[in-house]
Amino acid sequence: MKGYNVAIVGMGAVGREMVKILEKSSVPVSELALLVRKNDGAIVSFRGKDHLVKRVTPGVFQGVDLVLMAAGGDAAVALAPLARQEGAVVIDNSSAFRMDPEVPLVIPEVNPEAARQHKGLIANPNCSTTQMIVPLKPLHDLFKIKRIVVSTYQAVSGTGRKAIEELRQQAEFSLAGKEVEAKVYPHQIAFNILPHIDSFLENGYTKEEMKMVNETRKIFQDEEIQVSPTAARVPVFNCHSESINIETEKPLPDVAEIKEILAQAPGVEVVDDVQNNVYPLAVNCSGTDKVFVGRIRKDFTVPNGLNLWVVADNLRKGAALNAVQIAELLVGKGWL
């Protein structure tokens, strides 16, 4: 099989997770470049070889087949077009291009064919959108979801390594009776919940919440589907949790059949034995690849309603894993 020259841009929490996942993936990597915009000099191991993290310089993408963009939106806007001009296909994890009608927004378990239409750039959906849509896809196909009400409980790893350290330090200081300082978030995150992720918009929702609305409609190719989100940051190091309520147009079967449908869905694992206190937990899901679903029960307030509790590793399926899965899809189908 042909080997590919791959570059990963950004060595934060997501970028380093991409390296780990790419190492175990089916993508045949001939050469790997690890790139950052500012600080360089770090050493990262990949498939038994140490790689020097280098700074992005002119011409760095020449000869590169595939770029996994793990840097922020500003970096993506600046570097993705450059990489495309130099002949690479870019898979971007930022929000910069997600709603561009020319850019496919892809979850391989949900809409793999969309990747085939790429013009050198594919976008990764938002982490909270991804873990919501993976288990909802088979239900939407069978029963047509018309409304989603979702509340997210998002871990600090979604913000980055500085947020992880801030939670750790705040927890230590709080337990020691010391004064807590908030730098990453507008308020203390330790032992607290912030109903605030990203900036607020004129409609009272945050950018994070509206991403879930707009990205869901684009991925499902359904502008009529209604999505009502509330996104909260919780004092959890890793893994996002979501409480999801859906209403469908078609009648739903009994819960046992719904569990069977979800158990057969790609990328989904049903963890639901409430009589024995078994349901998805963030502490159990970190470092895993599946989207875990439990607390599956009918919503008795509407004719065709259903409640779900969904947990996934936001650094993996919500970001790095999904990007590498897209890369595997492109390679496997010959779409690169």
CATH number at residue 269: 3.30.360.10
Sign of CA dihedral 126, 132, 137, 142: negative
Q: Are residues 119 and 16 in the same domain?
A: yes
pLDDT at residue 41 in the model: 78
237 pLDDT more than 90: yes
Q: Are residues 180 and 262 in the same domain?
A: yes
Q: Are residues 101 and 136 in the same domain?
A: no
Residue recorded with tokens 């594919």: 122
Q: Are residues 112 and 83 in the same domain?
A: yes
187 has catalytic annotation: no
Q: Are residues 77 and 170 in the same domain?
A: no
DSSP SS3 for 214: helix
The per-residue pLDDT for range 113-164, each reduced to its tens digit, is 999 999 999 999 999 999 999 999 999 999 999 999 999 999 999 999 999 9
Q: Are residues 141 and 256 in the same domain?
A: yes
Q: Are residues 206 and 231 in the same domain?
A: yes
Percent residues over pLDDT 70 in the chain: 100
Pick from 48-62, 101-115, 253-267, 311-325: least confident: 48-62
At residue 44 the predicted structure's pLDDT band, cuts being 50, 70 and 90, is very high
Strands ordered across the beta sheet of 66-69: 43-46, 49-55, 29-36, 4-9, 66-69, 89-92, 121-123
At residue 39 the predicted structure's pLDDT band, cuts being 50, 70 and 90, is confident
The per-residue pLDDT for range 195-236, each reduced to its tens digit, is 999 999 999 999 999 999 999 999 999 999 999 999 999 999
Which of the following is catalytic: 118, 127, 140, 239?
A: 127
Q: Are residues 328 and 248 in the same domain?
A: no
DSSP SS3 for 217: helix
Which of the following is catalytic: 118, 140, 240, 285?
A: 240
Q: How far apart are CA 246 and CA 228, in angstroms?
A: 10
CB 27 within 8 A of CB 4: yes
Q: Are residues 64 and 190 in the same domain?
A: no
Q: How far apart are CA 208 and CA 114, in angstroms?
A: 23
Q: Are residues 47 and 182 in the same domain?
A: no
User: Which pTM does this prediction carry?
Assistant: 0.95
Checking 264-269 for CB contacts under 8 A at 24+ apart, the result is: 264/138, 265/109, 265/134, 265/135, 265/137, 265/138, 266/109, 267/109, 267/134, 267/291, 267/317, 268/134, 268/135, 268/138, 268/292, 268/293, 269/293
Range of the structural domain that residue 294 is part of: 129-313
The per-residue pLDDT for range 318-334, each reduced to its tens digit, is 999 999 999 999 999 99
Q: How far apart are CA 75 and CA 312, in angstroms?
A: 26
pLDDT at residue 73 in the model: 81
The two beta strands, 240-248 and 305-312, are: antiparallel
Please count the helices (runs of H) and the strands (runs of E) in the chain: 8, 13
Residue 306 CA: distances (Å) to CA of 249, 311, 312 = 12, 17, 19
pLDDT at residue 310 in the model: 98
186 pLDDT more than 90: yes
pLDDT at residue 1 in the model: 66
Domain count, the chain: 2
Q: Are residues 17 and 159 in the same domain?
A: no
273 secondary structure, DSSP code: B
CATH number at residue 20: 3.40.50.720
Nearest to 246 by CA among 234, 231, 233, 258: 258
140 has catalytic annotation: no
Q: How far apart are CA 55 and CA 37, in angstroms?
A: 5
- Radius of gyration over alpha carbons of the chain, in Å? 20
pLDDT at residue 234 in the model: 98
At residue 38 the predicted structure's pLDDT band, cuts being 50, 70 and 90, is confident
Residues contacting 132, CB < 8 A, separation 6+: 148, 150, 212, 216, 242, 244, 310
Q: Are residues 302 and 164 in the same domain?
A: yes
